[in-house]
């Protein structure tokens, strides 16, 4: 399928036609309503032994992540098992799964597995696995979908931390095209009660190695606490990923929620600059935070934040980069105490175009005498302000000891299914049996300038009914695990999308128009046409004038076929004139000429400084009149002030060009 694409790069606009590499037909929805438990039918048979885990670290459950490890178009499922061998369930394409963890080398039976996150960190086209463990984190490289290799040590990931990894999150914070990694450590480790183990931020070096740059965050805010998950999102919409850190703010170690704003490459000595702005933006609660969900539930284009807690959870509406607590008015703060709420997800389960909210609930310890509380599914009422509890109606009110929830469309019918990890109990694979007639669009991204998975992209979908939806793609998005990385859009009754606008992490903006509904499409990021193109800056010609004269133009020249634009500064600045070799200023100063290729919109890397100098007019006088007898020489001396001191003289009789004139009457 060939679609018209409008490609924008900063202020450069060009129209290109791109082919979508893949369009997959999706089978129609099967009859039914709500969600059904397909765990046993799917062949997922597992229960980790919760009783074998020491009670002081039972708060950390198992994790899970949906990802297509072999690129066959079917979502597979990885599940960590704490003290047992982990599982990798291969999707057989018929609603069933087969555990292939041992044959592919991803059992990791030697470690206490908690969190898992999948992403293609080396841009080879296959998603890799990071395991946040208790006794040692593990990085597993995907070898073309046929096996995995443990490269933890060679990649520079710590092999000595004993810091109870809870969750891992991939995101390209410096937009260099390689995914970086944040590991949240809960620090609830036997023998260590001082909170001495901090979270880790690893910067991807682009050569399958990482550098521990945790100091970037530690310098501006504490990351040594009981962290459960770090969520990447561009909350202020400035084009780079910021970090939300959910902490379990205990009385013995009261570290509240943290928001780290990405301020780019502006630090005088560190490789990157983050600023802790929790108080400034309105999220600095000292609560027992567990999981986080990020999504634009009200269609205003700004990512809102929901995080779980011991008591009622918390919904913060994003008002242009400032957050307002709307938990009480939104209807999503259902009572779960004395149980705890854990994993949480924004997802559109009924495909009406509005993000709904799911929250799993479970007791803190195993076994527990506490009365179990059910999981909660909140339906978005499509008004941008409140939700309704539909947990029972949708069969999403299981009361097991839930920890992690991750969604993905494992049966390729277009609606998101949910996998729930229960602590010390069997998990739940909840198949979405939506049959309301609503349509969908699933979008798979492939980055070329950005990271291969396109993680951190910002998508805007517009439909003929006037609805506009906004999504971010992310990895490690849920407590202990990750949803499928594709973008899932519900389209309601719309049978097509007017446009899909993708802002890639590279800054490239791509628009795909007139897309039919009920498809799984792959969109490939266009290469930046300016990437390997060298355009020389113009040759400048300065100008000068005397004060009071008509001001001349400054000039510049370039190669034939190119244009020249004039700016007020060497970078950024105000555009003064377009497509002209000359610019007439209104006063003295330095102006900057930039070469532009009109066929691509590409420009010279630098601008040429061109100066207009206005000289001060000098003042001159010749002293007193002289009287002399006939034949006696008389010398006149011109006295001069002002100007720049580089004087030339002209006497009216033309006899001298210096400041003296001698005459003999």
Could you tell me the residue ranges of all domains in the chain? 120-439, 441-524, 539-615, 619-664
Tell me the C-alpha to C-alpha distance, in Å, between residue 467 and each of 318, 415, 490, 537. Answer: 19, 19, 11, 44
CA angle 461/465/470 to nearest 5° reads 25
Give the span between the Cα atoms of 585 and 223, in whole angstroms: 52
How much is the mean pLDDT over the chain?
A: 85
Closest CA to 434 of 418, 415, 406, 408: 415
Q: Is the dihedral of CA 57, 137, 289, 394 positive or negative?
A: negative
Distance in Å from the first CA to the final CA of the chain: 99
CB 412 within 8 A of CB 26: yes
| 239 — pLDDT class (breaks 50, 70, 90) | very high
Helix (H) or strand (E) holding 327: helix 327-330
CB 229 within 8 A of CB 169: yes
DSSP three-state, residue 648? coil
Give the span between the Cα atoms of 15 and 196, in whole angstroms: 54
CB 601 within 8 A of CB 582: no
State yes or no: pLDDT of 193 exceeds 90.
no
Tell me whether strands 12-19 and 402-408 are parallel, antiparallel or unpaired.
unpaired
DSSP secondary structure code for residue 280 in this structure? H
DSSP secondary structure code for residue 295 in this structure? E
Characterise 605 by phi-psi region: left (phi > 0), alpha (psi -120 to 50), beta (else).
Answer: alpha
| 620 — pLDDT class (breaks 50, 70, 90) | confident
State yes or no: pLDDT of 20 exceeds 60.
no
CATH 3.20.190.10 fits 539-615, yes or no: no
Give tens-digit pLDDT for 623-656: 556 667 777 787 777 777 777 767 777 777 666 6
Give the span between the Cα atoms of 580 and 557, in whole angstroms: 9
Give the span between the Cα atoms of 433 and 393, in whole angstroms: 13
- Range of lowest pLDDT (131-135, 237-241, 279-283, 362-366): 362-366
CB 293 within 8 A of CB 307: yes
Give the span between the Cα atoms of 569 and 567, in whole angstroms: 6
| 32 — pLDDT class (breaks 50, 70, 90) | very low
CB 442 within 8 A of CB 426: no
441-524 and 539-615: identical CATH topology: yes
DSSP three-state, residue 281? helix
CB 593 within 8 A of CB 580: no
Topology of the domain comprising 441-524: Immunoglobulin-like (2.60.40)
Give the span between the Cα atoms of 121 and 141, in whole angstroms: 9
Query: What is the model's pTM?
Result: 0.79
| 477 — pLDDT class (breaks 50, 70, 90) | confident
CATH 2.40.50.140 fits 120-439, yes or no: no
What is the average per-residue pLDDT within 169-175?
97
**DSSP assignments along 9-59, one per residue:** ETTEEEEEEEE-SEEEE-PPPPS--SEEE-TTTTT------GGGS-GGGTT
CB 236 within 8 A of CB 242: yes
What is the distance, to the nearest Å, from the Cα of residue 162 to the centroid of all Cα atoms in its chain? Answer: 29
Beta strands in 60-174 (DSSP E): 64-67, 76-79, 87-91, 97-99, 113-119, 128-133, 138-142, 148-150, 165-171
What pLDDT is attached to residue 379?
97
């Amino acid at each position: 399928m060939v679609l018209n694409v409008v490609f924008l790069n900063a202020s450069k606009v060009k129209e290109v036609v791109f082919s979508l590499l893949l369009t997959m037909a999706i089978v129609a929805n099967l009859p039914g309503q709500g969600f059904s438990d397909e765990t046993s039918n799917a062949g997922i048979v597992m229960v980790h032994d919760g009783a074998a885990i020491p009670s002081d670290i039972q708060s950390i459950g198992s994790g899970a992540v949906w990802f297509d490890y072999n690129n066959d178009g079917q979502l597979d499922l990885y599940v960590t098992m704490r003290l047992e061998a982990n599982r990798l369930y291969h999707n057989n394409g018929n609603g069933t799964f087969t555990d292939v963890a041992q044959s592919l080398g991803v059992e990791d039976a030697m470690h206490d597995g908690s969190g898992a996150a999948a992403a293609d960190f080396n841009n080879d086209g296959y998603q890799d696995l990071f395991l946040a463990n208790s006794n040692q984190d593990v990085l597993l490289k995907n070898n073309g979908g046929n096996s995995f290799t443990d490269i933890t040590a060679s990649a520079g990931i710590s092999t000595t931390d004993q810091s109870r990894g809870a969750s891992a999150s991939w995101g390209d914070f410096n937009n260099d095209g390689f995914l970086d990694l944040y590991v949240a450590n809960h620090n609830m480790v036997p023998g260590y009660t001082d909170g001495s183990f901090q979270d880790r931020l690893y910067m991807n070096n682009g050569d399958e190695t990482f550098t521990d740059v945790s100091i970037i965050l530690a310098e501006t805010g504490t990351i040594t606490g009981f962290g459960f998950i770090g969520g990447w999102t561009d909350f202020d919409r400035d084009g780079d990923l910021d970090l939300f850190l959910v902490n379990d703010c205990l009385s013995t170690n009261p570290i509240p929620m943290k928001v780290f704003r990405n301020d780019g490459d502006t630090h005088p000595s560190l490789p990157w600059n983050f600023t802790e702005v929790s108080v400034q933006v309105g999220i600095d609660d000292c609560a027992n935070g567990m999981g986080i969900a990020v999504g634009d539930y009200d269609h205003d284009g700004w990512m809102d934040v929901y995080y779980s807690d011991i008591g009622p959870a918390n919904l913060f509406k994003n008002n242009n980069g400032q957050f307002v607590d709307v938990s009480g008015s939104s209807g999503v703060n259902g009572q779960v105490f004395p149980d705890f709420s854990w994993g949480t997800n924004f997802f559109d389960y009924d495909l009406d175009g509005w993000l709904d909210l799911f929250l799993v609930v479970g007791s803190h310890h195993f076994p527990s005498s506490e009365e179990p509380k059910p999981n909660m599914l909140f339906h978005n009422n499509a008004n941008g302000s409140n939700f309704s509890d539909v947990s029972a109606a949708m069969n999403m009110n299981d009361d097991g000891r839930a920890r992690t929830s991750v969604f993905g469309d494992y049966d390729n019918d277009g609606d998101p299914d949910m996998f729930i990890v229960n602590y010390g109990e069997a998990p739940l694979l909840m198949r979405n049996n939506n049959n309301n007639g609503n349509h969908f669009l699933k979008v798979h991204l492939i980055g070329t300038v950005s990271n291969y998975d396109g993680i951190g992209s910002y998508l805007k979908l517009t439909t003929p009914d006037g609805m506009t939806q906004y999504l971010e793609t992310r990895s490690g998005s849920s407590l202990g695990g990750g949803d499928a990385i594709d973008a899932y859009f519900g389209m309601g009754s719309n049978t097509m999308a007017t446009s899909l606008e993708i802002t890639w992490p590279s800054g490239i903006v791509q628009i795909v128009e007139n897309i039919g509904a009920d498809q799984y499409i792959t969109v490939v990021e266009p290469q930046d046409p300016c990437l390997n193109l060298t355009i020389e800056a113009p040759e400048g010609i300065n100008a000068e004038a005397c004060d009071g004269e008509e001001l001349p133009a400054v000039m510049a020249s370039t190669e034939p076929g190119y244009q020249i634009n004039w700016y007020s500064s060497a970078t950024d600045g105000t555009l003064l004139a377009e497509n002209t070799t000359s610019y007439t200023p209104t006063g003295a100063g330095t102006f900057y000429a930039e070469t532009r290729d009109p066929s691509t919109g590409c420009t010279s890397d630098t601008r040429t400084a061109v100066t207009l100098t206005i000289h001060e007019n000098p003042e001159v006088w010749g002293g007193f009149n002289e009287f002399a007898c006939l034949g006696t020489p008389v010398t006149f001396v011109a006295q001069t002030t002002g100007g720049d001191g580089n004087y030339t003289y002209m006497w009216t009789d033309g006899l001298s060009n210096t400041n003296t004139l001698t005459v003999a009457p």
